[in-house]
Amino acid sequence: MNDQDYNKECVEAMIRQQNRELRTEMEAELKNLRELTKYKRPSVTASIIIKDLSTGKYLLIKRRDDPFKDHYCFPGGFLKVGEETINQTAIRECQEETCIKLEEKDFFPIDVRSKPDRDPREHVIDHGFYAEIYHASEKAMANDDAAEIIWVTEEYINTIELLAFDHNEFWSNFKNSRRYISDATLNINQ
């Protein structure tokens, strides 16, 4: 075997080895990719119940678009993935839909709802919040996804058969949580 043949065999052996290594790396990356896409990812939203403490009334929006066009619900919307936290989503959506500017200190979480069919578009996990603000009704205007806004009593909300999405459940969870909210407020003020 001459030097040229030997060099050719060495080069071919190195190429075969590199191809094996590359194939192994590609198979590992493909396996990782399969693992990542194995589970579908739901979308995430924030919804917020707002009470105007000066009137004792709650804010509802009438949806401008489908799904649930012309149905009432509480303000809210989708999280911008990679850009904001769920609290920032609540603040942004509230301002976009009602022109009410909240700060994180103005609200706190009530619940998380994740039934697969709560939104007909896709599986959406919603984080529900509650805010109390004085004179909010003076600042509020319908905007963005909201065709109109109304300020209503608790009794009125209780009569609405179908709030958009699962906001009847959200409302019920809020009402059930109020005793804990009152207890917590009493403990803080003591």
The amino acid present at 178, given as its one-letter code, is: R
pLDDT at 6: 67
Active-site residue among 9, 25, 138, 148? 148
pLDDT, averaged per 10 consecutive residues of the chain (190 residues), comes to: 71 82 84 75 96 96 95 97 97 95 94 96 96 90 90 96 97 86 50
Residue keyed to tokens 């959406």: 124
Give the residue among 128, 85, 94 at the shortest CA–CA distance from 108.
128
Report d(CA 172, CA 152) in Å as an integer: 16
pLDDT at 181: 55
Residue 60's DSSP bridge partners are 150
Which pTM value belongs to this model?
0.76
pLDDT at 141: 87
Per-residue CA distances from 117 to 9, 17, 27, 127 (Å): 62, 51, 36, 15
pLDDT at 34: 74
pLDDT at 189: 47
Say whether 35 is catalytic: no
pLDDT at 186: 45
